[in-house]
Structure 1
Amino acid sequence: MSPEEVARIVGPLRKAQERLSGSPDADAAEALLPAVNVSFFILGSGHAHNFENYRAGFRSGMLPVLGAFPSREAFNTWLEAYAGPPPRGTVEVGGEHYTLGYSRRRGQPLLLRLPSVADLRRPGNAQEQGRLWLALDQARDVLSASPEDVDALHSAALALHFVQEADCAREFANFLAHFDKPRPPLCSFTTRAEADTWLKNHPSPPHGARVQVGEDELTVGYWPQSDLRVLVRFPKDEEPDEDLTPGT
């Protein structure tokens, strides 16, 4: 998921907010805020790669099918063969469909259940989030039936499912509560050497995450195809530009 993709999802939702704010359903505009902001959360959470696969898995045929397992225990036995991130694809476990993910922060694989088309905008905890899902229905009513608008609504709904499946609901709630404030860094280190060691040993560094090194804030860069890993220090406004400094 890139910033451009986030813009394509958020644009129609903000358009719906504008239209709803001047209607008898004005409360729905505020209720849409989690749907508007969930893509920003995923982009900055280190889960963008997992959500890309999750969205591809929802769209049948876009990911390889890795196998079908009668139970979670049988799936776990199969998964034990992979020491690092699991392969990209979908699995069936006990009749339910999932995509495989990987938590870069925890260094653990994830099994992410895919909703059915019928359940896309009706999650299991619909009673707790009824106002939000009703607002998505109202947004659909005020938007056009263009492929762009429909895809934005589907992607936002799928992102809300993803946050629950990836066990990020508490983090997302905190993100919404502090949306207009700077987010804390992922990790803090006393020295650059400590940060470089962490970067070198991490099985899949969270691309785009921020880490604190002393008084400096660095951004993680990771390209899995080449295994290139860097910690980038962006200069402050009053400082001249500096070169990117790769990690060891």
Structure 2
Amino acid sequence: MNTHLINNTLALLRQVERHATTSEQFDALKASRTLLYFILGRGEAGEFKDYFERFDTAPVRPLLSFATQEEAETWLRNHPAAPHGATIRAAKDLYTVVDARALNHRKLLRQLSLEELGLTDEEVGQEPADESEPPKPNPGERFSLFGLYERTCYDLYQMEKHVTSPEELEAIRAAKISFNFVMHEGEEYGVEDYLESIRSAKSTPPRKSFTTRAEADTWLATQPEPPPPVVVAIGNELYAAGHNRRRGLRLLIRLPTPPELDTGAP
């Protein structure tokens, strides 16, 4: 597993931190680190590297492909933890997977083609001209990975204006693309559960404690699919029970320590 890109990005974001002047900018750095640790903990550092290197150059690649829409509908209906927000292909069309788990409702939304949208290839991927600050979430508002992505990108951009180091600029780009990667994988709910595990670990003891990873993996194999979002300890480290929605795999994802996530915000 090639972890150099993620580890190097994490180190460089510590240097970018000196350009942060607001609590929102420190929050953006913390959110970026969290996403990178989420990808790293899932064992997808190599896949992220490939995604990063072809970003902006390769065409949209669906997460999964099906011969017919009926096959895709059957897959979605029977999936224990559908990849909410991911793009799949059914026959010749692309669809967005919608899993409104609060409403226990799933569907496939067909994506309009460039011709239907009236766009040219040159217009696709252009940065929006509007640089206005996105709205802050209201207390109790439902988690949205895309909303977190918008706010994080805005605050990273404010810092980016003062960065001259090519390496730090590339780290900021990698931080932004980490959100695209996780959304491409359809892991909005995985990130939501991971964030909740990080929060609960600060005040609640782990549900289970194990001496070795093998013991923890044996326990995880007995859990339902997907496993509930609980925190367990393996030796001195904490892990969140998770699920790879694309591959249908149960996971144990290491939780970063407070020093790994915290910024120098006052």
Q: TM-score of the superposition, structure 2-length normalised?
A: 0.43
Higher relative contact order (CA 8 A, sep 6+): 2
